[in-house]
Amino acid sequence: DAGVIQSPRHEVTEMGQEVTLRCKPISGHNSLFWYRQTMMRGLELLIYFNNNVPIDDSGMPEDRFSAKMPNASFSTLKIQPSEPRDSAVYFCASSLGQASTGELFFGEGSRLTVL
Partner 1 sequence: GENVEQHPSTLSVQEGDSAVIKCTYSDSASNYFPWYKQELGKRPQLIIDIRSNVGEKKDQRIAVTLNKTAKHFSLHITETQPEDSAVYFCAATFNTNAGKSTFGDGTTLTVKP
| 72 forms part of the interface with partner 1 (CB under 8 A) | no
Enumerate residues 48-67 that contact partner 1 by CB under 8 A.
Answer: 48, 50, 55-56
Q: By CB under 8 A, is residue 7 in contact with partner 1?
A: no
Decide: is 5 part of the binding site for partner 1 (CB under 8 A): no
Spatial separation of the C-alpha atoms in residues 52 and 106, rounded to whole Å: 17
- Asked if residue 96 binds partner 1 (CB under 8 A), the reply is yes
Using the rule CB under 8 A, is 91 a contact of partner 1?
yes
Q: What is the CA radius of gyration of the chain?
A: 13
70 binds partner 1 (CB under 8 A): no
Q: Read out DSSP for the chain?
A: ----EEE-SEEEE-TT--EEEEEEPPTT--EEEEEEEETTTEEEEEEEEETTEEEE-TT--STTEEEEEEETTEEEEEESS--GGG-EEEEEEEE--TTS----EE---EEEEE-
Interface with partner 1, residue 106, by CB under 8 A:
yes
Among 45, 64, 72, 76, binds partner 1 (CB under 8 A): 45
Give me the residues that bind partner 1 (CB under 8 A), please. Answer: 30-31, 33, 42-43, 45, 48, 50, 55-56, 91, 95-98, 100-104, 106-109
